[in-house]
Amino acid sequence: MIITKEQFKKDFEKKMLKLYAQEVEDSTVHMQYFTLGYLMKEYISEGWAKTTNRYTKYGEKQVYYFSIEFLLGRLLASNLLNLGIRNTVSDALKDMGLSLKEIEDVEVDPGLGNGGLGRLAACFMDSMASSGIPGNGNGIRYKYGLFQQKIVDGYQVELPENWLRDDNVWEIRKSDKAVKVKFYGDAWMKPREDGSLEPIHTDYQEVLAVPYDTALVGYENKTVNTLRLWNAEVPNYTDDIQGELNFNKVLLNKREIESISEVLYPDDSHHEGRVLRLKQEYFFVSAGLQSIVAQHKDAGHPLSELHNYVAVHINDTHPAVAIPELMRILMDEEGMEWAEAWHITQNTMSYTNHTIMSEALEKWQIDLFKELLPRIYLIIGEIDRRFREILSSKFGEDQNQIEKMAIISGGYVRMAHLCIHGTHSVNGVAKLHTELLKSQELRDFYMLYPYKFNNKTNGITHRRWLMLANPELSDLLDETIGNSWRRNPQDLKLFKKYKRDPEIQKKVEQIKRNNKEKLAAYIKEKNGIIVDPNSIFDVHVKRLHAYKRQLLNALHILHQYHEILENPNFEMLPKTYIFAAKAAPGYYFAKEIIKFINALAEQINNDPRVEDRIKIVFLENYSVTLAEQIIPASEVSEQISTTTKEASGTSNMKFMMNGAVTLATLDGANVEILEEVGHPNIVIFGMTEKEVLNYYRNGGYNSREIYESDARVKRVLDSLTNGFIKGIQVEGQDIFKNLIDYNDEFFVLKDFDSYVAAQKKMEDLYRDRFTWNKMSIENISSSGVFSSDVTVMQYASGVWDTRIIER
């Protein structure tokens, strides 16, 4: 949009007066944030209404991305950027004596996600709108986010994340679009006079799903898409109050119903059997599909054509009940026959798998499922029966094979199997991950449905992760290669020709230095630790999980500490190791690792013998906003998961885009990063995929052998249990046990030696400033293919069959 400074000032003053009956000069920064936010919403609304009408009028095929998480991050800055008025607004505010940065800092991160999966959904939303793809999000409006993490005495403490405490300026409640979702009760098939069967569902509990819509503004185009999040509420009982509903009962019911959209569960690949989780899943899926079908009918399109107008994407298995739910709507509510309904369902739905961690492949106990969703269970039963017929026709009498692949088997409903059978497309999120799905985890399904499997390597939005997070680097790019990269991120490759240019090298280095200084100031303020911006900033930020091997990093630091103590003249470039991670509340071992890292920090940071060669910082409460500060200041990007375990990773892409060099195993999208930058510009270490699979298949790994034969490993592990590191009596023992007695499931010790060597190599590369800056530039200029703009275009043409309306 186009707006002059003067017009904006007038609008802002008027809005402030309307909202707070106050002049700008008497306002607080809090008021300024809400004034600006509400004003932005007004600016957005016209384009939003127009986009929605355009989609309806031209009957364009729309994507609905169903996801249990959308980790959006703050929206004010990105909306200003995408509207194309950030500079104008910033200047105008400055004229008024206000600071845009301070105002932006008032916004709290929406608590709608946990990790990579939710952040990916948010990147896709931004990229779809920016690429003119008619794409909507569908999810839950959690009242409380994951949790707020505090570190107390080195331990993680979880506090409620009440992100909706103040007004959320971006959402619009649409009460008139509310729908009802049914839980519990009895479901059966009743014969009609003509012999056909009528589905009956009685005595159910009704939950009102009320949508809250948020605008998803495309980058300097005319597209404003919609993120629809559902809130669980008690229906209005006045119509059907049956006498027995007394006030207390209503209250009890209210608590139970409202809990559906109350908290986001951390899904850290750890299975916690929870009815509430299944309730949440069916809740947002049923509400979303009901509203999609209603809209489709309102527009006058035939239901038999639904799949030509609508694509529903199932983001991991959490929304898998979309398959039977669409069947239910088409059959029970619209009177369609099974065969047609199934054809439409399969062609409407597509599915992404985000992990091969088997404990994260959702399965539900039949009893639990049947009780909560009786009608849906009947439909899945029929899907399973028909699927078994297909399997029988392929595998004949091989009953084992049929049970292995069935949807309902062994007392469980297996959601991944349902997803593969019930959709037309199944994709993994990086090349290696997709290959592993095809050759290992889902091999049987790949044999059955080879044509459904495809790869879509993840991506990140360069608008948030470069333009907003690193404005100085963005300016330098504009100065050198022009600004076409902003619209076409693949143009970042134009920057490659400057890799040997001493002047540009210096500028890149200076920008990194400035970002490091800002982060150092933040660290000082938050943790009271003074870190040297001249030291190497080596960064490991992501969810805390054993497979991500924060432990390997920490053990290496402990090893370096021993080296220094043993040889006071030990030469190393000063290093600042930065960690940030939340551990799932029930994931005990992950929490112990947090304590270990903090104990290590406490001891090493305060040991004068270290002479500041090592500093360790654990930043609490990792979030999108914190990542935006950390990543542009990072030099070494730790991507050290056990090979085969990280489906893709996406922070790896954000780091390289900001000029960090990746220290990586050949896991997930690290493989593609290597393909893009080439061996000289990344440091690879660790076991290969074949070695890992071999050990898992054939055994033969013995961590104790390494402990006994490698003196460095022994020294490090012994110092966990002998009191050398203070304050980890329990944690040290448990970590030792995990690595030695339980044979180190994630090969931390097996990879220790090559990790030490890789760290050394990194340091040597860093010493040579020319080489390092060249690597940094190579990384920045190779990162364009990892823009999620590229990824969503691949989904649009390869999976959803949607067209681009406006660019």
**Chain residues in the site for ligand GL7 (CB under 6 A):** 115-117, 120, 267, 269, 354-355, 360, 429, 458, 646-650, 668
In the complex, minimum distance from the CB of residue 354 to ligand GL7, in angstroms, rounded to a whole number: 3
One-letter amino acid identity for 266? P
Q: For residues 208 and 660, which CB has a smaller minimum distance to ligand GL7 in the complex?
A: 660
Which residue out of 318, 433, 548, 615 is catalytically annotated? 548
Which residue out of 650, 662, 665, 802 is catalytically annotated? 650
Rounded Cα gap, residues 169 and 519, in angstroms? 29
Length of the chain: 807
Q: For residues 269 and 644, which CB has a smaller minimum distance to ligand GL7 in the complex?
A: 269
Q: For residues 505 and 644, which CB has a smaller minimum distance to ligand GL7 in the complex?
A: 644
Q: For residues 85 and 117, which CB has a smaller minimum distance to ligand GL7 in the complex?
A: 117
Q: For residues 464 and 512, which CB has a smaller minimum distance to ligand GL7 in the complex?
A: 464
Q: For residues 646 and 744, which CB has a smaller minimum distance to ligand GL7 in the complex?
A: 646
Rounded Cα gap, residues 671 and 644, in angstroms? 11
* Token output for 349: 């739905």
Q: For residues 261 and 458, which CB has a smaller minimum distance to ligand GL7 in the complex?
A: 458
User: Annotated catalytic, 343?
Assistant: no
In the complex, minimum distance from the CB of residue 66 to ligand GL7, in angstroms, rounded to a whole number: 15
In the complex, minimum distance from the CB of residue 267 to ligand GL7, in angstroms, rounded to a whole number: 6
CB 555, CB 563: distance < 8 Å: no
In the complex, minimum distance from the CB of residue 355 to ligand GL7, in angstroms, rounded to a whole number: 4
Q: For residues 104 and 126, which CB has a smaller minimum distance to ligand GL7 in the complex?
A: 126
Rounded Cα gap, residues 594 and 5, in angstroms? 48
User: Annotated catalytic, 249?
Assistant: no
In the complex, minimum distance from the CB of residue 586 to ligand GL7, in angstroms, rounded to a whole number: 15
419 CB burial (10 A radius; 0-12, 13-18, 19+): buried
In the complex, minimum distance from the CB of residue 155 to ligand GL7, in angstroms, rounded to a whole number: 23
Rg of the chain on CA atoms, in Å: 27
* Token output for 732: 């040290």
- CA distances 191 to 194, 333, 348, 379, 600, Å, are 8, 17, 30, 16, 70
798 CB burial (10 A radius; 0-12, 13-18, 19+): middle
Q: For residues 117 and 551, which CB has a smaller minimum distance to ligand GL7 in the complex?
A: 117
In the complex, minimum distance from the CB of residue 391 to ligand GL7, in angstroms, rounded to a whole number: 28
Residues in a beta bridge with 228:
138, 213
User: Annotated catalytic, 486?
Assistant: no
Which element (helix H / strand E) includes 755? helix 752-767
Rounded Cα gap, residues 110 and 579, in angstroms? 22
Looking at residue 269, the DSSP 8-state letter turns out to be: S
Which residue out of 543, 559, 582, 645 is catalytically annotated? 543
The full DSSP string for 360-386 is GS-EEEHHHHHHH-HHHHHHHHHHHHH
Collapsed DSSP state (helix, strand, coil) of residue 706: helix
One-letter amino acid identity for 435? E
Q: For residues 127 and 458, which CB has a smaller minimum distance to ligand GL7 in the complex?
A: 458
Q: For residues 75 and 117, which CB has a smaller minimum distance to ligand GL7 in the complex?
A: 117
Q: For residues 93 and 653, which CB has a smaller minimum distance to ligand GL7 in the complex?
A: 653
In the complex, minimum distance from the CB of residue 754 to ligand GL7, in angstroms, rounded to a whole number: 22
How many C-beta atoms lie closer than 10 Å to residue 491's C-beta? Answer: 17
Rounded Cα gap, residues 338 and 789, in angstroms? 37
CA angle 703, 707, 708 (to 5 degrees): 115
Looking at residue 438, the DSSP 8-state letter turns out to be: I
Rounded Cα gap, residues 207 and 232, in angstroms? 7
Residue the block writes with tokens 């509420």: 233
Rounded Cα gap, residues 326 and 58, in angstroms? 24
Collapsed DSSP state (helix, strand, coil) of residue 236: coil
In the complex, minimum distance from the CB of residue 120 to ligand GL7, in angstroms, rounded to a whole number: 4
In the complex, minimum distance from the CB of residue 235 to ligand GL7, in angstroms, rounded to a whole number: 33
In the complex, minimum distance from the CB of residue 650 to ligand GL7, in angstroms, rounded to a whole number: 5
Which element (helix H / strand E) includes 209? strand 205-217
CA nearest 461: which of 113, 112, 127? 127
* Token output for 189: 């098939």
Which residue out of 143, 279, 654, 774 is catalytically annotated? 654
User: Annotated catalytic, 190?
Assistant: no
Rounded Cα gap, residues 713 and 703, in angstroms? 10
Collapsed DSSP state (helix, strand, coil) of residue 184: coil
Sign of CA dihedral 797, 798, 802, 807: negative
Which residue out of 5, 41, 228, 354 is catalytically annotated? 354
Which residue out of 86, 452, 542, 545 is catalytically annotated? 542
CA nearest 536: which of 628, 661, 437, 433? 661
Collapsed DSSP state (helix, strand, coil) of residue 576: strand
In the complex, minimum distance from the CB of residue 117 to ligand GL7, in angstroms, rounded to a whole number: 4
* Token output for 627: 């990542």
* Token output for 675: 């393909």
Q: Which residue of this chain has its Cβ atom nearest to ligand GL7 in the complex?
A: 116
User: Annotated catalytic, 650?
Assistant: yes
User: Annotated catalytic, 277?
Assistant: no
Which residues are identified as catalytic? 354, 542-543, 548, 650, 654
